[in-house]
Amino acid sequence: MIQKLDAIGGQALRDIAAATQLDVLENVRISVLGKKGALSEVLKGLGTVLPEERPKMGAAANEWKRQIEEALTIQKDKLESAALNIQLAQERIDISLPARLPHRGALHPVTQTTRKLLQIFSRLGFDPMTGPEIETEFLNFEAVNIPKDHPARDMQDTFFMGPGVVLRTHTSAVQMRALRSKKWPVRIVCPGAVYRSDHDATHSPMFHQIEGLWVDKNVKMSDLKGTLEFFAQEMFGSESRIRLRPSYFPFVEPGAEVDVSCFLCKSKPVDTCKVCKGTGWLEILGAGMVHPRLFEMAGYDPGEVSGFAFGMGVERIAMLLHHIPDLRRMFDGDSRFLTQF
């Protein structure tokens, strides 16, 4: 039996030393020390050995077991550290390579333009105020003097969300919210998205407006003109002029469409000007003196206060500033277009 143990032990040590892979080493361990391994089988046979021989046999078997386990541990450590060295060599990082810069986003031209507009008006004391994009039909229309059968409703093709609820068609809806919730004086600018069933190179079904409203004692048309002149010069350059053309909006009286002098061809309009098409003027907003009906509906006394309001399209202003020919590009999400701003 001793010879058998020596043969098994000797062979196991040679197999362990020859193993170059961890799985091969594990197979050697199982074939010798596993439940049905060669050494385990011999130990199971100890019962058949003469009682006086048994301690000697047992001690010899345990000694081989110890030697084999020790050899397995040493070989395993050796193979593992060799595998680790190979892995480290393969995964070596070249720290001298230049870093890949993260892709940085930028503010959308509409956001940039809105922020600039709010900044300009804040210097004249206008505070920002917002209202909901899903608005009651009442505040979007009736409250700003556009009753149900009024032809002006056709001017703005409306998206209805349900009975009496619309996607607001203009930020003028915020005017009545302001008048109802505040006591005069009121001096606010209201930025936000508005929606109309409209779609071509200069019209988008969703676009942004900024509404301005100033209500106080003795606010005059000349205050409106001065305010808009300041805005035009800050936005388009100090040489900019504005002109008011009579126009109709149900919520103002009198009402005007406001043009700004073309900042590209300046005072000498040229037929080829891409921006103003040779007219020398660009239409940028609607404005006027707040209609007395609105004051009455909000519980103000039109004999005591007066005010002006204006509303402009943010995309149109961004298009003019950056010479963007098609408004729809702003909402395509094409980063080649957006990264130019």
- How many residues bind ligand FA5, per CB under 6 A? 24
Burial of 151 (0-12, 13-18, 19+ CB in 10 A): exposed
Q: Which is nearer to ligand FA5, 5 or 276 (CB)?
A: 276
Pick 64 or 195: Cβ nearer ligand FA5: 195
User: What's the closest the beta carbon of residue 310 comes to ligand FA5, in angstroms?
Assistant: 5
> Which tokens sit at 39?
């050494």
Q: What are phi and psi of 283, to 5 degrees?
A: -80, 125
As a whole number of angstroms, the distance between CA 4 and CA 61 comes to 10
Query: Which residues ranging from 184 to 223 are in contact with ligand FA5 (CB under 6 A)?
Result: 196, 198, 203-204, 207, 209, 211
Shortest Å, Cβ 119 to ligand FA5: 19
**Rounded least distance, CB 270 to ligand FA5, Å:** 24
Measured from the CB atom, the residue of 75 and 227 that comes closer to ligand FA5 is 227
Q: Which residue, 76 or 328, is less far from ligand FA5 as judged by CB?
A: 328
Q: Nearer Cβ to ligand FA5, position 248 or 341?
A: 248
For the segment 62-121, give every residue that binds ligand FA5 (CB under 6 A): none
Instruction: Name which of 16 and 317 has its Cβ closer to ligand FA5.
Output: 317
Minimum Å gap between C-beta 140 and ligand FA5 is 10
Q: Using the rule CB under 6 A, which residue among 75, 113, 145, 172 binds ligand FA5?
A: 172
Residue facing ligand FA5 at closest CB distance: 313
96 secondary structure, DSSP code: T
Q: Is the distance from CB of 295 to CB of 305 less than 8 angstroms?
A: yes
Residue type (1 letter), 302: P
Report the nearest approach of ligand FA5 to the CB of residue 174 (Å): 10
76/108 with CB nearer ligand FA5 = 108
- CB-side neighbour CA atoms (13 Å) of 256: 19
Q: Which is nearer to ligand FA5, 31 or 279 (CB)?
A: 279
Closest approach, Cβ 102 to ligand FA5, in A, equals: 34
- The CA distance from 116 to 120, in Å, is 6
**Contact set for ligand FA5, span 276-335 (CB under 6 A):** 285-288, 309-313, 315-316, 327
User: For the chain, what is the largest distance between any 2 Cα atoms, rounded to a whole number of angstroms?
Assistant: 127
What's the closest the beta carbon of residue 261 comes to ligand FA5, in angstroms? 16
Residue with tokens 């050494």: 39
The letter for the amino acid at 256 is A
SS3 content of the chain, % helix, strand, coil (to 5): 45, 20, 35
The residues near 223 (Cβ < 8 Å, ≥ 6 apart) are: 214, 308
C-alpha–C-alpha distance, residues 155 and 157, integer Å: 6
Within positions 123 to 152, which residues make up the interface with ligand FA5, using CB under 6 A?
none
CB of 301 to ligand FA5, least distance (A): 21
Strand residue runs (E) in 217-251: 242-247
Scanning residues 241 to 260, which ones bind ligand FA5 (CB under 6 A)? 249, 252, 255
Give the Cα-Cα-Cα angle 24, 28, 32 (nearest 5 degrees).
170
Taking CA atoms, 310 is separated from 35, 55, 126, 285, in Å, by 91, 108, 13, 7
The DSSP output letter for 330 is G
| Cβ nearer to ligand FA5, comparing 13 with 224 | 224
Where along the sequence are the contacts to ligand FA5 (CB under 6 A)? 170, 172, 196, 198, 203-204, 207, 209, 211, 249, 252, 255, 285-288, 309-313, 315-316, 327
